[in-house]
Structure 1
Amino acid sequence: MIIKSKKGDIKLPCLDVRIVDINDVKANNYNPNEVPKNNMELLEESILSNGFCFAVVTVFDPDLDKFIIVDGFHRYVIFKEYLKAEQIPIIVLDHDISKRMEATVQFNRARGVHQVELMGDLVQALVEQGVEDEEISRKLGMEVEEVYRLKQITGIAELFKNQKYSKAWEMTEVEADV
């Protein structure tokens, strides 16, 4: 189903929830956020009190024959480790690796939760996949300067090999009012 908006059509994957075996779902290896133990306990309480309101967002990886988590890792952990559930509700997106990494950050940043060091690793992975700085900036909701800073955090000069640098400063003399 699609909803029309002034900015274009909006897909509604939230209406296509599947219940799958929890062992068919796997964490991604790039999610740049963490949740403190007390917040995990609060999430568990929320699920027990309010039900499971937000399905885990995934993509299907045919090589692994698993659903890889894009968003909802902590909900997955609660279901699997805390509640010992055998099944979990998921939504499956059709994204390649770059798009799903971008989606993970978009979901995290929309909630205001991410870690700088892990964001640097994510930016590094996107650069290594050939994604341009401006596209990373636009897709991850950050300024280009933030992308540059995150590239610096990774400490990898390789990330800057195609960077255009501005000309050096030029000194000019200024008369001082005395």
Structure 2
Amino acid sequence: MSKRILDTPYGKFEIEKAPEIEIKGGEKLKLPVMTPIIVPTESIVANTYNPNHVDPQNMDLLKTSIVDNGFTFAIVTIWDEEQEKFVIIDGFHRFTILKDVLECKEIPIVVLEHDMVKRMSATVQFNRARGVHQVELMGDLVKSMFDQGADDEQIAHMLGMELEEVFRLKQITGIAYLFRNQPYSKSWEMQEVEQ
């Protein structure tokens, strides 16, 4: 495998050529996930076009996930010659937790070779592909956690949700026994309306 050499103000970095696996039709799929490098935190900057926003509650959950599970997804970047920085394509919020909250001096990244259009589209693709969790699947997850003995407050904490979200997801599953310990309340009242 040949290596790509990046000679930067932060040092010289050798990036292995991404291995490939065969996919449908005999084509090849590159695996840049297998070629991370570790760089100084100050060598990384955010892009200027990412429309994604994460609320504070989910940022707290992201921090908890990183601390509990380790850092499992490298920041996806490109090397920008003009800025002399690694520009984030995907992983800004993970980067923020590592840099500002955990105060890491070095961060693992993957470096793609994309032009501006491709990197902008990649950012949107990453965001949209991740998207929001499918409601039905989240409902099933809540049901499974409930079946394993977790109560509403535990589920809300572990999944970074409000109790109201847990209740809504329990409703979606359509299973009455999930509400067996909840007090009943009317959500609306019937009224006669003159026509």
Q: What's the TM-score bracket when you normalise by the shorter of the two chains?
A: 0.5 to 0.7
* Distance in 1 of aligned mates of 2:37 and 2:50: 22
1:130 aligned partner: none
Is 2:59 the partner of 1:37? no
2:12 aligned partner: none
Instruction: Give the unaligned 5+ runs of structure 2.
Output: 1-18, 133-195
* Distance in 2 of aligned mates of 1:104 and 1:60: 15
Higher relative contact order (Cα pairs below 8 Å, separated by 6+ residues):
1
1:57 aligned partner: 76
* Distance in 2 of aligned mates of 1:64 and 1:104: 19
SS of 1:80's partner is helix
1:108 aligned partner: 127
Shift of 1:103: 0.3
Query: After TM superposition, which residue ranges in structure 1, 4 or more long, deviate above 2 angstroms?
Result: none
Shift of 1:75: 0.2
SS of 1:108's partner is helix
TM superposition score normalised by structure 1: 0.62
> Which among 107, 117, 120 is matched to residue 98 of structure 1?
117
Equivalence map 1:64-79=2 (5 Å): 64-79=83-98
- One-letter amino acid of the counterpart of residue 32, structure 1: P
Is 2:37 the partner of 1:18? yes
* Distance in 2 of aligned mates of 1:32 and 1:63: 23
Aligned residues: 113
Is 2:104 the partner of 1:85? yes
Shift of 1:32: 1.1
Instruction: Give the unaligned 5+ runs of structure 1.
Output: 114-178
Greater displacement, 52-61 / 3-12 = 3-12
Identity %: 53
Shift of 1:4: 0.7
